[in-house]
Amino acid sequence: MRSIFFKNKIHRCIVTGADVNYHGSITVCRKLMEAAGLRPFEFVHVNNVNNAVHWETYVIPGDDGEIILNGPVARLFQKGDPIVIMALAELEDHEIPGFIHTDVFVNKNNEVIEIVQNREKSIFKMDPID
């Protein structure tokens, strides 16, 4: 059986632009993508801290510090809004104990200030599955 788990996030990065005329996606600084382990075109969830809007899309690499909301959702995210970008992973039961998720914390310029990695087994004590 496969279960869905939190894989990684970029916590409270700041929107630097919104382009309603682009065909969709979120542009994320390449350095932040690398720090969080995000790949180009990976599916992500985006939450706007200011208005609770939740959006699902894919990531495209951007320039240093860039966080740009593209497409119609640009009407719901504004420059300066703090957001959380999250990716999920589907895991088999045997993959869960060694699974590591990553939290990337940034400053107001979308520069990495801390990376925290946690193993699921340190959070949940799990008995082996036969």
Q: Domain segments of the chain: what residues?
A: 2-123
Q: Is the pTM of this model over 0.85?
A: yes
Strands 112-119 and 25-29: unpaired
pLDDT in tens, 7-20: 999 999 999 999 99
Q: Please identify every residue annotated as catalytic.
A: 25, 58
Which tens digits make up the pLDDT trace of 57-75? 999 999 999 999 999 999 9
Distance CA 62, CA 85 (A): 15
pLDDT, mean of residues 45-61: 97
CATH number for the segment(s) 2-123: 2.40.40.20
Residue pLDDT, tens place only, 72-107: 999 999 999 999 999 999 999 999 888 899 999 999
3-state secondary structure of 17: strand
SS3 49: coil
